[in-house]
Amino acid sequence: MSNLTEDKKMARQKAQYNTRQVLELAIEVDKAQGFIKSGYGYFDQKADKQVYDNKTAILNMLEGATDLMPISKPSVEQADKIVDEFKQELIAKKLSGNINDFESNVLQSIGNETVEKFGVAVLASLPNSFRVLQKRQGLDDFFDEHRKSSEFVGKIGERLRFPAFIKDVKFIAKYNIHLVTCLTKENNIIKFFFNREPDIQGLIEGKDVILTGKVKTHDISKFSNCKETVFNYVRIEQ
């Protein structure tokens, strides 16, 4: 009995799945529940149902445990964009010798007609990875646009109140904190860290707010090469 169970596990690991179908299902699952990392499924007590991580949700459909989700036309078009964007991005990285293991797995998976179970996990994460890539590219464009105009704000230790536009809110899991990037009306880049839930506090990307905070540092960022003013003790007015 034990050997039979092991044989089934091995067969499932080696099973081949159509790459394009997996990617399109990954997009639909991501639309339905966002991205849930492998092993982080949970039981939703309010809905009284199990919520599977994205990889498992896709495998359940492919193996007949649950019904296949219909694939919409926008999802087909999104799949084309994801493949084209990652091929362009990652082939360039590979040629420059600057590609990591995950990126190599992505490039291999989208380049094959079929994938095994490990490839399903890679493809399941691509809609989320694509969002991250687009956000990073948008932030790069933002820094390029304001590199010459951005100047330091205030004096070290000075407390200021000013309007600002929230460009980016990035969660840094290692420190359980959010890094917020904003632009003042004078086109100066400011940043601050925030350890509370940003949405509840009104820290929403693309929103105009009034900030009050104390100037902590003036830095030329090694990441953006822009003049950036870092604030602490920041309060947000809606």
48 three-state secondary structure? coil
Q: Which pLDDT score, from 0 to 100, does residue 203 have? A: 79
pLDDT of the residue at 238: 67
- What residue ranges of the chain have pLDDT lower than 50? 1, 4
Handedness of CA 110, 116, 119, 121 (dihedral sign): positive
Could you tell me how many residues make up the chain? 238
Query: What is the reported pLDDT for 14?
Result: 73
Distance CA 192, CA 71 (A): 41
List strand residue ranges (DSSP E) for the chain, in order: 17-18, 42-44, 49-51, 114-115, 159-172, 177-184, 189-194, 208-220, 227-237
pLDDT tens-digit series, residues 147-203: 999 999 999 999 999 999 999 998 887 888 899 999 999 999 999 998 877 665 667
The answer to whether the CB of 235 falls within 8 A of the CB of 213 is yes
The pLDDT of residue 13 is: 59
Domains of the chain: 2-135 (no CATH), 159-237 (2.40.50)
Helix (H, G, I), strand (E, B) or coil at 226: coil
